[in-house]
Amino acid sequence: MNDNIDYNQKYIEKLYKEIYANIKYETTVSINQQLTFNYIKDAFNEVNIDINDNSIKKNLHLKNEQDQYTNLALLLSDQNPFTIKVASYESTSKTNFLDRKEFNGSLLEIYDNALTYLKLNSATYGLIDNSIRKDIEEYPEFVLREIILNSLIHRDYSTITSNIINIYKDEGIEFISYGSLYGNITIEDALAGLSTSRNPYLQAIFMRLKRVEAIGSGLKRVNEYYKNINLNLEINALPASFVVKLPRITLIENDDNKEEKTIINYLNSHNEVTRKEAEKLINKEKTTTSIILNKMADNNIICKIGNGPSTKYILK
């Protein structure tokens, strides 16, 4: 019994030391005192906070009582030295390199630009379900938002290095952030909704800016989403990094409305389709193809343009 008490006491003391160390980092005086907040001020204005007000800067721990900027201010400033590097590859072998980007500036600017880039490089499929067209995202926006935020808010900023995002075209997206799990929690704890914050003041600011919905819910929500569609979210807590890999969502074909799905998939990557092209796509006769195309037009899935042999169909 006494051994358990001693162990618990040591664990609590260790946890407090870790928390104090990181709060100390956030509130330590920044080496750079020539900071500007051009990007983040608009986001603060949206929630009726004047970031130019000195008392507000102190309340948010951007300045100390001696009127000096802190490391937290540095992270949110236009002069923030930390970046996210994005690389796109054909596959996980990384033999065929496709694109490279680096996002810098305020952490909020990095978040916004990285999210926009990943959305622009993610496909949206048109799925036919009982003659109703539904849009299925290759990587849902809420998932991208949660994982990017997680990689920025919970990373270790004691070392200047970049977070990494690897896009594998046909397999998934890998997020690598510096610093492993914090506070002696496990991956299972995190997926259950338990949260410890390495950067509590940074997290509090992102919550004020309405970028964080609820503490500890991010990974849990994302994991449950993939479970519901029978895909696996991969998470690895390495000694010096935290790695999350999102699976790529693809359409699973079945016999129901298979021909309509084939036409929709073609139109997702082409501007238009003719009846003759549709015949070859779905391997059906002229009459059957016409019936399918007309049904899709009646259900506002596609739009018919022109008449006779020159008739073309586009997505609504």
The Cα–Cα gap between 7 and 286 comes to 77
Determine if residue 180 is left, alpha or beta; phi over 0 gives left, psi from -120 to 50 gives alpha, anything else beta. beta
pLDDT-derived band of residue 13, with 50, 70 and 90 as boundaries?
Answer: low
Residue 171, amino acid: E
Domains of the chain: 1-251 (3.30.565.60), 258-315 (1.10.10.10)
Mean of the pLDDT values across residues 202-216?
A: 82
1 pLDDT tier (thresholds 50, 70, 90): very low
Average pLDDT over every residue of 272-280: 90
Whether pLDDT at 4 is above 50? yes
Q: Report the alpha-carbon angle 301-307-310, nearest 5.
A: 95
Going by pLDDT thresholds of 50, 70 and 90, the confidence category of residue 254 is very low
pLDDT tens, 175-199? 999 999 888 888 898 888 887 888 9
**What is the C-alpha separation between 66 and 189, in angstroms, rounded?**
39
Round the average pLDDT of the chain to a whole number and report it. 86
* Closest to 163 in 3D by CA, of 128, 306, 174, 171: 174
pTM greater than 0.85 (yes/no): no
Q: Is residue 122 predicted with pLDDT exceeding 70?
A: yes
* Dihedral angle, C-alpha 147, 31, 240, 173, nearest 10 °: 30
Q: For residue 11, what pLDDT is reported?
A: 61
Is the pLDDT confidence value at 217 over 60? yes
Nearest to 158 by CA among 134, 175, 182, 193: 182
Nearest of 106, 233, 113 to residue 175 by alpha carbon? 233
How would residue 253 be classed by pLDDT, with cut points 50, 70 and 90? very low
HEC string for the chain: CHHHHHHHHHHHHHHHHHHHHHHHHHHCECCCCCCCCCCHHHHHHHCCCCCCCHHHHHHCCCECCCCCEEHHHHHHCCCCCCCEEEEEECCCCCCCEEEEEEECCCHHHHHHHHHHHHHHCCCEEEEEECCEEEEEECCCHHHHHHHHHHHHHCCCCCCCCCEEEEEECCCEEEEEEECCCCCCCCHHHHHHCCCCCCCHHHHHHHHHCCCCCCCCCHHHHHHHHHHHCCCCCEEEECCCEEEEEEECCCCCCCCCCHHHHHHHHHHHHCCCEEHHHHHHHHCCCHHHHHHHHHHHHHCCCEEEECCHHHCEEEEC
